[in-house]
């Protein structure tokens, strides 16, 4: 065989095999850094969010542009955690967890955020807040700066990695900001979308509430119990046992995809669905990190995952944090298959 032909064959072989073994991430052109963030003092908008957002378990549509504008404001708001238990929370948007955001790899997010805490000064002290996107690769000192009540923060970042990521307030004392409700999920899709088709998809965010009674049904955050890792409630999407009362609806035979995130602030989650097996698990939501046939996925604080399973037959399937103290504290829900 001629040397030139041999070299050509070796070259082709290398290209073919590297294509087989490289993941979606390897094909992505990474974008590092972004223009400097800036702060403005403008009139506070009427609504607390703008752009493609949804509240879990719903997932927002993907905007198919190179850039996407998203605004998520911060407010101090009374939130109900369980029947007869509410507290003055600090929230992204209107709920705990904050809204689910969805972008794709390569897309530039033009993000803005108003600190609206000055609007509720009578009941909750206005204070600085910030946002830390685990999905971004930027200078945190610049983009994740704290802004004062009434100010608006603007910055942009480009999504490099697919996954299910956390965002949270990073203003000290971070533990108090997180247990007050300032966490949420952002889904980053691969450039060509997540592989495979599913019939139903839901977002599930697990978090802990550290509260102590203040009077009647009003509670307040309890930093001491947070430091001792002793939550009063552990919930899926911010309300104790809400999907026991209102199960997620699917059909027998459906392929279901769950975007799962444990926002902590402290504990791990052993996420499990009774009656089925996860035939695909993408750790941190990245299809390059695939496991098959898993019973439970272990999520540390701030870890995410995408789990897929087939609903084998009609029935009611229970999803839990299989660390069972968490079930007693509220981390249990139902999936009803008709």
Partner 1 sequence: MKALFIIAAIAGACLSFQAPPLKKATVYLFLQSQCPCIYNHKETFGSLIKTYQSKVSFTAVFTGRKETDKDMQQLISDLGWRLPYKKDKDHTLLRQLKPRVSTDCVLVDAKGKVLYVGAIDDGPLNMGAVKNFYLKDALEAYVNDRPVRVSSAKGIGCTLSD
Interface residues toward partner 1, by CB under 8 A: 118, 121, 124-128, 140-141, 145-146, 148-149, 170-173, 176, 223
Contacts of 59 (CB under 8 A, 6+ apart): 100, 102, 187, 201, 202, 203, 259
CB of 149 to partner 1, least distance (A): 6
141 annotated ligand-binding residue: no
CB of 93 to partner 1, least distance (A): 21
Sole residue written with tokens 């803005």: 112
Q: Smaller CB distance to partner 1: residue 149 or 163?
A: 149
Sole residue written with tokens 């992204």: 92
207/146 Cα distance (integer angstroms): 23
CB of 169 to partner 1, least distance (A): 12
182 annotated ligand-binding residue: yes
169 annotated ligand-binding residue: yes
Q: Smaller CB distance to partner 1: residue 167 or 309?
A: 167
Sole residue written with tokens 């444990």: 262
168 annotated ligand-binding residue: yes
Q: Which H/E stretch holds residue 18? A: helix 3-21
Contacts of 336 (CB under 8 A, 6+ apart): 247, 248, 249, 250, 316, 317
Q: Smaller CB distance to partner 1: residue 214 or 229?
A: 214
Q: Which residues of 142-163 are buried (b: 16+ CB within 10 A; e: fewer)?
A: ebbbbbebbbbbbbbbbbbbbb
Q: Smaller CB distance to partner 1: residue 175 or 277?
A: 175
Q: Smaller CB distance to partner 1: residue 96 or 281?
A: 96
The helices-and-strands tally (H runs, E runs) of the chain is 6, 25
CB of 22 to partner 1, least distance (A): 35
Contacts of 21 (CB under 8 A, 6+ apart): none
CB of 147 to partner 1, least distance (A): 10
Which runs of E-coded beta strand occur in 210-264? 211-215, 218-221, 233-236, 248-250, 255-264
71/49 Cα distance (integer angstroms): 5
272 annotated ligand-binding residue: no
Contacts of 39 (CB under 8 A, 6+ apart): 145, 147, 151, 152, 153, 154
CB of 167 to partner 1, least distance (A): 17
Q: Smaller CB distance to partner 1: residue 146 or 301?
A: 146
77/209 Cα distance (integer angstroms): 15
CB of 11 to partner 1, least distance (A): 48
Q: Smaller CB distance to partner 1: residue 176 or 269?
A: 176
Binding-site residue numbers for Cu cation are: 129, 134, 168-169, 177, 182, 322
Residue ranges of the annotated binding site are 129, 134, 168-169, 177, 182, 322
């Amino acid at each position: 065989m001629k040397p030139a032909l041999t070299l050509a064959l070796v070259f082709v072989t290398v290209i073919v095999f590297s294509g087989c073994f490289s993941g979606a991430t390897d094909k992505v052109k990474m974008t590092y850094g972004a223009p400097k963030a800036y702060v403005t003092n403008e009139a506070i908008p009427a609504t607390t969010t703008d752009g493609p957002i949804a509240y879990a378990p719903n997932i927002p549509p993907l905007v198919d542009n190179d850039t996407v504008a998203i605004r998520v404001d911060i407010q101090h708001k009374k939130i109900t955690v369980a029947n007869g238990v509410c507290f003055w929370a600090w929230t992204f948007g209107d709920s705990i967890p904050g809204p689910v955001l969805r972008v794709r790899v390569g897309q530039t997010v033009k993000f803005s955020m108003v600190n609206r805490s000055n609007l509720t000064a009578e009941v909750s002290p206005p204070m600085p807040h910030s946002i830390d996107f685990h999905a971004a690769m930027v200078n945190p000192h610049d983009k994740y700066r704290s802004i004062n009540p009434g100010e608006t923060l603007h910055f942009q970042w480009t999504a490099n990695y697919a996954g299910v990521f956390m965002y949270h307030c990073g203003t000290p004392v971070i533990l108090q900001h997180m247990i007050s409700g300032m966490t949420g999920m952002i889904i980053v899709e691969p450039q060509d979308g997540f592989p495979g088709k599913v019939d139903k998809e839901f977002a599930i965010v697990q978090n802990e509430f550290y509260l102590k009674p203040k009077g009647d049904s009003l509670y307040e955050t309890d930093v001491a119990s947070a430091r001792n890792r002793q939550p009063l409630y552990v919930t899926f999407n911010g309300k104790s046992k809400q999907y026991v009362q209102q199960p997620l609806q699917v059909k027998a035979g459906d392929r279901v995809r769950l975007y799962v995130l444990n926002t902590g602030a402290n504990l791990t989650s052993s996420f499990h669905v009774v009656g089925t097996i996860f035939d695909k698990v993408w750790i941190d939501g990245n299809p390059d990190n695939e496991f098959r046939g898993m019973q439970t996925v272990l999520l540390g604080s701030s870890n995410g995952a995408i789990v897929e399973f087939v609903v084998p037959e009609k029935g009611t399937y229970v999803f839990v944090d299989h660390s069972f103290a968490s079930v007693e504290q509220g981390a249990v829900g139902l999936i009803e298959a008709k």
